Amino acid sequence: MNATKYQDEIMLNPDENVLKQLAEAEKKFLLEGKQAYCPCRIITGKELADRKIICPCYFYMGEIELQGHCQCSLYMVKK
């Protein structure tokens, strides 16, 4: 998906409570000296595998195409 299509079709979840929870989870990772990992994924401790779960994770586009939102519902199709 190119950047223009991404901008036109995908948005952050408009629910402020969801955004706050996810931001707090990512903030916790950053305060621990880690990357801003997707809060819905399990960190393996293996650098190559864990790179795929830095938010926005490697999987989010496929999830959005299949179900309209990523696993943690941070990103979703614009309505």
* Angle subtended at Cα 17 by Cα 54 and Cα 10, rounded to the nearest 5 degrees: 55
Q: The whole model's pTM is what?
A: 0.82
DSSP state of 14: S
Q: Residue with structure tokens 């819905």?
A: 40
Beta strands (DSSP E) in 1-79 are: 10-12, 75-77
Residue-wise pLDDT for 17-67, tens only, equals 999 999 999 999 999 999 999 999 999 999 999 999 999 999 999 999 999
